[in-house]
Amino acid sequence: MTSEQGESSLAMVAEMPIDLLKLDRYFLVSAAHSKRHAEIIQFIIQLAQSLDLHILAEGVETKEQADYLLSSGCTFAQGYLYGKPMPAEEFLQKY
């Protein structure tokens, strides 16, 4: 992976002051039927852990996905399993 300037994406991550790595929904959805994508998820989580980064998984829709992520070491998750998008006023009333 390289940026338009030719820098490696991983080299840029190593130099940036980040504390969270997002795991795209695409990998979570495709991991159910692709061993390769499941292995990529494991790699991303292991990489984040080795760099002391939290991991946020996007697009979690089922308890099975949440359980898989939790058992794999994922720190945070977001998605329809936890709640659908709503206006701020509704959120404040509900929570």
> What tens-digit pLDDT sequence spans the chain (95 residues)?
434 555 677 787 778 888 999 999 999 999 889 999 999 999 999 999 998 999 999 999 999 999 999 999 999 999 999 999 999 999 899 88
Q: Which domain holds residue 44?
A: 20-94
In a domain, 47, yes or no: yes
Model pLDDT, residue 94: 86
The answer to whether the CB of 40 falls within 8 A of the CB of 23 is: no
In a domain, 9, yes or no: no
Model pLDDT, residue 6: 56
In a domain, 7, yes or no: no
Model pLDDT, residue 2: 39
Model pLDDT, residue 90: 93
In a domain, 45, yes or no: yes
The answer to whether the CB of 48 falls within 8 A of the CB of 21 is: yes
In a domain, 11, yes or no: no
Q: Which of 57, 94, 61 is nearest to 73 (CA)?
A: 57
Contacts of 43 (CB under 8 A, 6+ apart): none
Give the total number of structural domains in the chain.
1
Catalytic residues: 58
In a domain, 72, yes or no: yes
In a domain, 6, yes or no: no
